[in-house]
Chain A
């Protein structure tokens, strides 16, 4: 009794650390400590589970558990430490998939222990289906962000096909629960069907929507963990799982809101088809002339301005130009010019991704201004410098109802006095949509790789 009590007590503390940790993650000053607190809670929960277990356990099993944790810790630590900051979204997806797979495996093993207990079988089956979908879906999302799979792949009538398939899986799962079967064949059939559904679910969704998908799968895995908690009557799994499930759902909706697209639109994707139509449809309107500027033109323009706003995008990160842009910012500041960064909620490949990248190069946190706060400022801005961003400054979101991004909140850079856009070429952005901003009279294009162009710009500015 005493032991059970102390384990429950540890779980209680761990649950509180998760709530506290997530809460603290919401504020810049406390975020890091919050993460460490949650990690500490997880550690005591794991250690407590192993050492306060009631019952006879052979030493072989203890060795196996220790070995699995040891390998997992070393490998997880190394991957997490080695991967570059631009690859963060992939990494979150990968680790999310691991959790999903773990939940699915638990279901596979426990199924036979609970045959006849309908409620337990229900939680096992639910946990297994959700975990498997989360695993295979995350792997596809990972491959997509990685660039291995960069085109949305759509089977004919994929929406209907997917829904029928999902209904089939749920129906079969329900049948297994009600019939009380103990068939391994059925179990594995369901397992592989769920895996296949995860693949079919994510495959048709475009790469630009992957953050939303990862966030959604993240909350799925939380649910799978919670079902596990229900099965074992384990409070810490239940609280942690439900917490992530609900927080993840809200985060997913927040991301969709930032892109002004309902979740159903992301999942059942009108994006790819709509955008190709719009790209050709608006072709005539955007076919104006483009003004090109050299690095020295831009340097002169910036040198004589009072206020410069930098709009960083994923292109900046890909070119590894975050350090040189920080140098540009400091150089301009030393000349008495007011410099800020305008951060769109979905800049980069994930909300907040751009902030992480810039923070890495020691850019002052106060210089990163969010969209709502910076939009009124463009009117009084002399130069807006757009580096590797495209869709988040596309005015089509305001004035072209046929555009797939119509209605998405954007940075109103067209209100500024001068617009400089650094791009490698005239190629459309990630969403594959033309941008009329490039043809605006106030716009000059600074072509070239972000890092090379910025290096040149900085050296020109230094000579002034």
Chain B
């Protein structure tokens, strides 16, 4: 039990963020017309590419002689970039077509 309380008090800031972000995510999606579901999913897909930050941190923190970590990290950064770049470009391409024409 004390461990649990320690965990809460040590990570209070992050726990706040997690809880608030859950509500923000729910609220944001609540009012979206079905028309935009695909672009939205694609946009969200690009945003979770933020995992690339973790991959970069792995690389930056790796020992220069740890070949395994470096090569896995290299692949992780590459895949993360694919997720980010591909995700945003595809979303943009979809939305490009929604321009208002009168």
Interface members, chain A 209-259 (any B CB < 8 Å)? 214-215, 218, 221-222, 224-226, 228-251, 254-255, 258
In A235-287, the 8 Å CB interface with B consists of 235-251, 254-255, 258
CB neighbours (8 Å) of B94 from chain A are: 85, 88, 356
Binary contact track A367-379/B, C-beta < 8 Å → 1, others 0: 0101000000000
Q: How far is the CA of A89 from the CA of B48 in the complex (A)?
A: 17
In the bound complex, how far is the Cα of B38 from the Cα of A360, in angstroms?
14
Known: A61-B70, A105-B73, A224-B51. A235 touches B17 (CB 8 A): yes
Contact B88 A99 (CB under 8 A): no
B50 and A81 contact, CB distance less than 8 A: no
Cβ of B91 to closest chain A Cβ, rounded Å: 5
Asked if B57 and A49 sit within 8 Å, CB to CB, the answer is: yes
A95 and chain B: residue at smallest CB distance: B86
* A206 at the binding interface (Cβ < 8 Å): no
Question: Do A69 and B53 touch across chains, with their CB atoms under 8 A apart?
Answer: no
Contact B54 A215 (CB under 8 A): no
List residues of chain B with CB within 8 A of the CB of A73.
81, 85
- Specify which chain B residues have a CB less than 8 angstroms from the CB of A241 in the assembled complex: 48, 50-51
Contact partner, B100, options A29, A38, A88, A221, Cβ 8 Å: A29
Docked CA distance A350–B34 (Å): 10
Assuming the contacts A22-B28, A68-B81, A109-B69, asked whether A45 and B22 have C-beta atoms less than 8 A apart, the reply is: no
Task: Assess the A72–B62 pair: CB atoms within 8 A.
Answer: no
- Does A23 lie at the interface of the complex (its beta carbon under 8 Å from any beta carbon of B)? yes
Give which listed residue, A55, A351, A365, contacts B60 with CB less than 8 A.
A55
Query: Which residues of the other chain, A, contact B40 by a CB distance below 8 angstroms?
Result: 22, 25-26, 247, 251, 352
Interface size class of A (residues with CB under 8 A): 35 or more
Does A164 make an interface contact (CB < 8 A)?
no
Which residues of B (70-93) have their CB < 8 Å from a CB of A? 70, 72-93
Q: Choose among A35, A110, A242 the residue that contacts B21 (Cβ–Cβ < 8 A).
A: A242
Closest to A134 in B: B48
Q: In the complex the two chains form, what is the Cα distance from A67 to B92 in whole Å?
A: 25
| A242 & B55 in contact (Cβ 8 Å cutoff) | no
Partner of B72 from A108, A232, A240, A255 at Cβ < 8 Å? A108
Q: Specify which chain A residues have a CB less than 8 angstroms from the CB of B30 in the assembled complex.
A: 250
Question: 1/0 per position for A16-54, CB-CB distance to B under 8 A?
Answer: 001101110111110110111011001001100110010
B68 (CB) vs chain A CBs: closest residue: A109
Asked if A79 CB lies within 8 Å of chain B CBs, one says: yes
Q: Is the CB of A64 within 8 A of B74?
A: yes
Once A26-B32, A64-B70, A108-B72 are accepted as A-B contacts, the answer to whether A352 and B37 lie under 8 Å apart by CB is yes
Among A49, A230, A239, A351, the residue within 8 A (CB) of B56 is A49
Q: Which residues from chain B contact A400 at a C-beta distance below 8 Å?
A: none
Complex alpha-carbon distance, A218 and B76, angstroms: 17
- Chain B residues lying within 8 Å of A365, measured Cβ to Cβ, are 98, 100-101
Q: How far, in Å, is A357 (CB) from chain B's closest CB?
A: 8
List, in ascending order, chain A residues with CB within 8 A of B38's CB.
Answer: 88-89, 92, 350-353, 355-356
A364 to B48 Cα, complex, angstroms: 32
When A106-B58, A109-B69, A254-B37 are in contact, do A39 and B88 touch as well, CB less than 8 Å?
Answer: yes
Q: Given A98-B83, A119-B7, A370-B33: A69 and B77 within 8 A (CB)?
A: yes
CB-CB nearest in chain B for A347: B34
B54 touches A237 (CB 8 A): yes
* B35 touching A28, Cβ below 8 Å: yes
- Does any Cβ of B come within 8 Å of A65's Cβ? yes
Cα separation A27 to B36 with both chains bound (whole Å):
8
Contacts of A65 in B (CB 8 A): 56, 59-60, 77
Given A69-B77, A360-B97; A42-B57 close (CB under 8 Å): no
Residues of chain B with a CB closer than 8 A to A38's CB? 43, 46-47, 88
A98–B50 CB distance below 8 A: no
Tell me if A80 and B95 are in contact (CB < 8 A).
Answer: no
Query: Given A98-B86, A102-B55, A234-B53, are A35 and B39 also a contact pair (CB < 8 Å)?
Result: yes
Minimum Cβ distance to chain A for residue B8 (Å): 12
Minimum-distance CB pairs A-B, first 8:
A72-B81, A246-B25, A76-B85, A351-B37, A240-B50, A76-B86, A80-B89, A359-B97
- Chain A interface residues (CB < 8 Å from chain B): 18-19, 21-23, 25-29, 31-32, 34-36, 38-39, 42, 45-46, 49-50, 53, 55, 57-58, 60-61, 64-65, 67-69, 71-73, 75-77, 79-81, 83, 85, 88-89, 91-92, 94-96, 98-99, 101-103, 105-106, 108-110, 113, 119, 131, 214-215, 218, 221-222, 224-226, 228-251, 254-255, 258, 343, 345, 350-353, 355-356, 359-360, 362, 364-365, 368, 370
- Chain B residues engaging chain A, CB cutoff 8 angstroms: 7, 11, 14, 17-18, 21-26, 28-62, 64, 68-70, 72-101
Apart from A25-B32, A96-B48, A102-B83: 14 A-B pairs, beta carbons within 8 A: A19-B24, A25-B91, A32-B95, A42-B88, A61-B70, A80-B87, A101-B75, A102-B52, A105-B55, A218-B48, A228-B54, A237-B53, A240-B50, A365-B98
List 5 A-B residue pairs with CB atoms under 8 Å apart, sorted by A's residue number: A106-B55, A221-B48, A238-B18, A242-B18, A254-B37
